[in-house]
Chain A
Amino acid sequence: MHFQTPTRRLFLGGALTTAGAAFIAPHRARAQDAVALQLSWLHSVQFGGSYIAQKNGYWSDAGLEVSLLPGGPNAPVEPPVVAGTALVGISAADYTAAAVNQGAPFKIIGVAMQKNPFAIASLAENPVNSPADLVGKKIGMALANTPVLEALCTINGVDIAGIEVVPTQYDAAPLVQGQVDCLLCWATDLPVAMEMQGVESVTMLLADHGYAVHSQTYIATEDSIANRRDQLVALMKGEVMGWQDYLADPEAAAELTVEMFPDAGLDLATQKLQAERQVPLMFSELTEAEGFGWFTDETVAANVETLALLGKPVSPDLWDRSILEEVHG
């Protein structure tokens, strides 16, 4: 068993890097800095761009050795970033806002999903095509997401009292078993699973109905932004290059994902479908013009407005574009 305290790890890491730099510096331009990127879920093509960056050496060329830490049901992103075990974490604007309101010193330094992936999934014979269709329906979701439904209803003038919320665990079984009429889920996972199982479903993206919350956002602490700037720029540069490659060939990204993680139990066809479905969420006219991960004052303002509806008031200062400006500049 391997037991380390973060402080000791930091000390050791620091000592080794310093020693390493002293010995290696004459021979090599730059020693490899070891940093970690905390992913928000288990390995899958959801993080395809990062895998491409890893494989093509976009980070190692910049002197960065990045370990990609998988998430999981009980692996929140925020603690390792606060503790410093991960330099950057992949969060979402609403989660980051909640953490910041609890005192975490985070900034959002990049946005992978321009459009929020939350969707209402329903079966073709009893579809939910617009928020108004929700009235009189049973929706399965985690009760923790009630503010999301409330915000959607407020934005679209739907009376939430007409919707019956059924607390369910996060899978499609309650929908296909007929326990509920629709599910609140990501457009890129449960609907993909249903399609792979031969169940036809309808997805209504919340982002198409006024729900503006950046997702798969890159977060770092204020301390890292001030003191580990070079590493952050190098890491984000690799991400941008990786995701640009991803856009050129999502299928290849799916194949790489399955190949890199043989123990993750990934199915190639599922990964390809997911890879294709997340493209419109991550790439837009904005990213075409300004580059992957970009955000503007306008998109931030829209986020601030939706987050206020979610009961997570934040100021636009939560977003910090300076790292991306260095990456793209």
Chain B
Amino acid sequence: MSAGPAVLRLSRPLPRGLGLFLGLLIWEVAARATAGSFIIAAPSQIAGYMVSHSGLLWRAFGATLASAVQGFVWGNLAGVLLALLAVLLPRSERLLLTLALLVFCLPLVATGPILRVLYGPGCGPQVTLAALAVYYTTFLPVLVGLRAAPQGWFDLLRSYGRGRMTALREVRLPAALPYLVAGLQIAAPAAFLGAMVGEFTGAERGLGVLTVRALRALDLPATWAIAVIAAGVSILAFAAVGALGRKFDLAPPEVLMAAPVARSRRLWDAPAQALLALGVTLLIWKGSMEIFGLPRFFAKRPEDVWGYLVTSPGAEAQRARLFGALGETLALAGPGYLAGLGLGAGLALLLVLLPRLAGAVIPLSIALRSIPIIATAPLIVWALGRGAAGTITVVAVMIFFPTLIACQHGLARTPRAVLDLFEVYAASPLRRLIGAQLPAMLPAFFASARMAIPAAILAVTTAEWLATGRGIGALMATVASTSDYGMLWSAIALVGLAAVLAHALVAALERAVLARTSAEQLAR
């Protein structure tokens, strides 16, 4: 997207660096003026802390980065393999999507203790949590990318008698590359955040450990210095992945012509699939806990949850408590989800019209995504209060970044030939946006709408735990601290079910829309 003559521009660009300097100055003055209320640290204080504690920060950074890099590699590898499996064995796709979604929904209050018991001391839990934070947001875009090829190419290969593997190597993988780049870019800050949060499970060192310490010590310069480092490294990783991606992205996007898909689905197809997914989920749930010999005390099996919610004497009261909390949560997660999704897609479209804004918007978005929410939440709560506005904002903040990045990459997949056509007719940028780029963005948009479901759940539960004290997030934090693991696993099961249903809803919407705009995504 070059800044062509048709694109709006600021009439006279300010000298480079002046904006940054002014921003820092305003920040400094604001921090100094509010020093007594401990809200923000001044840039000079942050710099001072970094200099005086450089050794400590450096060692902590090294520890967190090592976990984040390992988690990044494993998580993305898993995401790509899942996508390949789903394309090579189309029948397994629904099942894989469901399982991947459910694992992604597992909250830290449950996974933390289990991982620590499995790995013991060391960085195992941090690496695993970093990997868990990224595999899903790579899986979905790559799956879209593996299908983003013209039907004619597959027909051609088939006419030569070539099989699925040739199609994969010659057509699908090259088509998936740009989508993989989007996935890796989204993964970069998520892996770092995952490693930091992973340190909450009892790590010896790292930036996550220092964050907890700094927050409790009311040490604002330290909190902000760590946030700046986390944001900085994420921005660098994001840019590096992007640069690497541009190197490999040689072929311009093709026009994808695909015949509309009319699938003759048998009536019992959907229930059968759902039943299969349920059965496999329960089997994996119970099987993994048995294989690792996890004590029933904190690793509840499916039958324990059934007993807790259905057959035990207190089941009715426990159900009422759980469903009440879920209702409170969904009431806030829904608006936050829509707001974040709208904001992400809207920003991506806006950046097409005003590309100069990207220089400011993208780094800020990465920063918001890479700083642990326990460090940003106090600021959001202070600004917006503990009511619905604060919670909805936290949710929107957590999901708009992956949406923005995925949509940007989707927009960049607009076929050159189509753009040329609009150019020939001297169409306005807005017209080009609506007529050519928006439809090209839709597959990526729906991929992010799926990714955003578990992200919204994680965000809303975190906000509830930290700020509002309501809903299923507060419930899970409370019961985890009082060893009420029956309630915790019941909540996890219910949240997982809600996520799967929401996912099914988005998928149905996606099928309806893409059948008109991108039928290649639906061909199996």
Contact = CB atoms under 8 A, between A and B. Distances in A.
A7 B289 CA distance: 12
Residue with the highest number of chain B CB atoms closer than 10 Å, among A99, A102, A166: A102
B77 interface: no
Contacts of A172: 38, 218
A79 B478 contact: no
Contact of A6 (B112, B292, B382, B485): B292
| Prevailing SS type, chain A contact patch | loop
Contacts of A73: 200, 212, 374
A76 B293 contact: no
A262 B117 CA distance: 25
Contact of B483 (A74, A99, A169, A170): A99
Contact of A80 (B36, B116, B474): B116
Nearest to A7: B293
Interface size class of B (residues with CB under 8 A): 35 or more
Contact of B469 (A3, A142, A199): A142
A85 B378 contact: no
A173 B298 contact: no
Interface string B441-481: 00000000000000000000000001111100010011011
Contacts of A75: 112-113, 116, 200-202
Contact of B113 (A74, A102, A169): A74
Interface string B75-114: 0000000000000000000000000000000001100111
Contacts of B293: 5-7
B124 A1 contact: yes
B210 interface: yes
Contact of A76 (B197, B377, B470, B480): B480
B4 to A, nearest CB: 48
Contacts of B63: 263
Contact of A197 (B38, B121, B122, B467): B38
A79 B56 contact: no
A33 interface: no
A70 interface: yes
B478 A103 contact: no
Given A144-B481, A171-B215, A177-B382, A3 B118 contact: yes
B237 interface: no
Interface string B486-505: 10000000000000000000
Interface string B45-85: 00000000100100110010000001000100000000000
Interface stretch (A186-194, A225-233, A321-329): A186-194
A222 B157 CA distance: 67
B338 interface: no
Contacts of B466: 169
Interface in A51-77: 67, 69-76
Interface in B114-167: 114, 116-122, 124, 127
Residue with the highest number of chain A CB atoms closer than 10 Å, among B39, B297, B374, B484: B297
Interface stretch (A20-28, A209-217, A264-272, A279-287): A264-272
A224 to B, nearest CB: 14
Contacts of A169: 215, 374, 377-378, 466-467
A259 to B, nearest CB: 14
A169 B463 CA distance: 10
A170 B216 contact: yes
Residue with the highest number of chain A CB atoms closer than 10 Å, among B116, B121, B382: B116
A167 B118 contact: no
A178 B297 contact: no
Interface in B371-408: 374, 377-378, 382, 386
B218 A74 contact: no
Interface in A144-168: 144, 166-168
Given A76-B113, A144-B478, A263-B56, A1 B469 contact: no
B161 to A, nearest CB: 43
B117 A85 contact: yes
Contact of B482 (A144, A166, A171, A190): A144
Given A171-B218, A196-B217, A83 B117 contact: yes
A143 B464 CA distance: 11
A143 to B, nearest CB: 4
Given A98-B482, A173-B378, A262-B56, A143 B474 contact: yes
Contacts of B482: 95, 98-99, 102, 144
A172 B220 CA distance: 12
A68 to B, nearest CB: 10
Given A95-B481, A102-B483, A265-B209, A79 B218 contact: no
Contacts of B210: 265
A308 interface: no
A2 B298 contact: no
A179 B377 CA distance: 14
Contact of B204 (A70, A193, A196): A70
A177 B37 contact: yes
Residue with the highest number of chain A CB atoms closer than 10 Å, among B74, B202, B296: B202
Contacts of B470: 167
A132 interface: no
B303 to A, nearest CB: 15
B477 A144 contact: yes
Given A75-B113, A85-B117, A194-B218, A70 B297 contact: no
B203 interface: yes
Contacts of B524: none
Given A79-B298, A82-B295, A177 B205 contact: no
Nearest to B487: A102
Nearest to A10: B293
A265 B60 contact: yes
A314 B295 CA distance: 23
Contacts of B56: 262-263, 265
A178 B39 CA distance: 11
Given A74-B197, A74-B202, A98-B483, 18 more contacts: A1-B74, A2-B124, A6-B118, A6-B292, A42-B209, A70-B204, A72-B199, A75-B112, A95-B483, A99-B483, A143-B478, A167-B469, A171-B378, A176-B38, A176-B218, A194-B218, A264-B213, A265-B53
The 5 closest A-B pairs by CB, nearest first: A167-B469, A75-B202, A74-B112, A263-B205, A143-B469
30 contacts: A2-B120, A6-B292, A42-B212, A69-B121, A69-B202, A72-B209, A73-B212, A74-B112, A75-B113, A75-B116, A75-B200, A75-B201, A78-B297, A83-B117, A83-B298, A99-B482, A102-B297, A143-B478, A171-B218, A173-B378, A173-B382, A178-B37, A190-B216, A197-B218, A199-B218, A263-B60, A263-B63, A264-B209, A264-B213, A267-B217
Interface of B: 36-39, 53, 56, 59-60, 63, 70, 74, 108-109, 112-114, 116-122, 124, 127, 197, 199-205, 209-210, 212-219, 222, 291-298, 374, 377-378, 382, 386, 466-470, 474, 477-478, 480-486
